[in-house]
Amino acid sequence: MAMSKPGILFIHGFPFDHAMWRHQVAALADRTCLVPDLQGAGSATAPTSPDAYSMAVYARDLIALLDERGIDSAVVCGLSMGGYVTFELLRKFPTRVRAAILCNTKSAADAAEVKRGRDALAEKARSNGASAVAEELVPKTLSRTTLERNPAVVRDVRSMIERQQVDGIVGALHALRERPDSTPLLDKIRVPVLVVAGSDDQITPAAGMREMARAIPGAEFSLIQDAGHLSPLEQPGAFNSALRGFLAKLL
Ligand code: MLT
């Protein structure tokens, strides 16, 4: 009997939603792809209290989704904050993760200065709305190549941030600042892992991601040229070929 291909759970970053994975979902039409909005993102319900948000809550909701769909274990592909959630799944629900793809992410928790930046951004979101968050983050998120030569992607990313709910943005910032350090987990990971970095990522630089890949037993590393922090959207062709190459080896 032919084995069915494992489903893929895509987990978006901050402050984005499921739409950031659309090129991957289109390219993997032969697979079950789960592309949820995390609590407070996209069209998902956004509790008003920031305390309601954490990596543990995001992970719990995703396990409930796998249960609902009758999926024992999935390939989990998370970008940045989605990578932090992937670490949480690997820590708390290791048997539910068939393999992991860690995109534009890092294992370390926030340093004190970064936490202060989270608080300032939350304040900005409360006072001036999601468009002020977009104004601050778009130039940091995209590569120079994307900013200079790909206005459609710039517009797309800006409008994705602008449509986010302020409560969801503030809640996610709380979850980010309180997340645990996942570095002690790295050498305990026992599933196949692909680490994907962008050559021009200012938020999670490629050098740190290469180091992270070295700390995970057997992990593969792929560098996407001319991509910033949103490699699946900025360079979908190169990203998808790395993704497909990794998935092909899992069967
Ligand atoms: C993300 O893309 O999810 C964020 O850059 C995560 C972070 O700010 O740590």
Region 47-66: what's the mean pLDDT? 98
Task: Pick the atom of ligand 1 nearest to 229's CA.
Answer: 2
pLDDT at residue 4 in the model = 76
Average pLDDT taken over every residue of the chain: 97
Q: List pLDDT tens digits, range 165-192.
A: 999 999 999 999 999 999 999 999 999 9
pLDDT at residue 3 in the model = 63
pLDDT at residue 213 in the model = 98
Task: Pick the atom of ligand 1 nearest to 176's CA.
Answer: 9
* Å from CA of 26 to ligand 1 middle: 24
Q: List pLDDT tens digits, range 99-122.
A: 999 999 999 999 999 999 999 999
Alpha carbons 140 and 211: distance in angstroms, whole number: 22
Residue 1, pLDDT > 70, answer no
Lining ligand 1 with CB less than 6 A are 13-14, 80-81, 176, 203, 229
Burial class (CB in 10 A: 0-12, 13-18, 19+), 183: middle
Q: List pLDDT tens digits, range 119-162.
A: 999 999 999 999 999 999 999 999 999 999 999 999 999 999 99
Residue 251, pLDDT > 80, answer no
pLDDT at residue 70 in the model = 96
Alpha carbons 168 and 48: distance in angstroms, whole number: 8
Task: Pick the atom of ligand 1 nearest to 13's CA.
Answer: 3
Of 98, 5, 78, the residue nearest 35 (C-alpha):
78
pTM above 0.85, yes or no: yes
Task: Pick the atom of ligand 1 nearest to 104's CA.
Answer: 2
Q: Whose CA is nearest to atom 4 of ligand 1?
A: 14
Is 110:55 a contact under the CB 8 Å cutoff? no
pLDDT at residue 84 in the model = 99
Q: Kindly report the CA angle at 188 between 185 and 192, in degrees rounded to 5?
A: 105
* Å from CA of 3 to ligand 1 middle: 36
Question: Among residues of the chain, what percentage have pLDDT more than 90?
Answer: 97
Is 245:225 a contact under the CB 8 Å cutoff? no
* Å from CA of 80 to ligand 1 middle: 5
For a mutational test of ligand 1's pocket, the pick from 14, 102, 212, 230, i.e. the residue with the most ligand atoms closer than 8 A to its C-beta, is 14
Residue 104 structure tokens: 């534009």
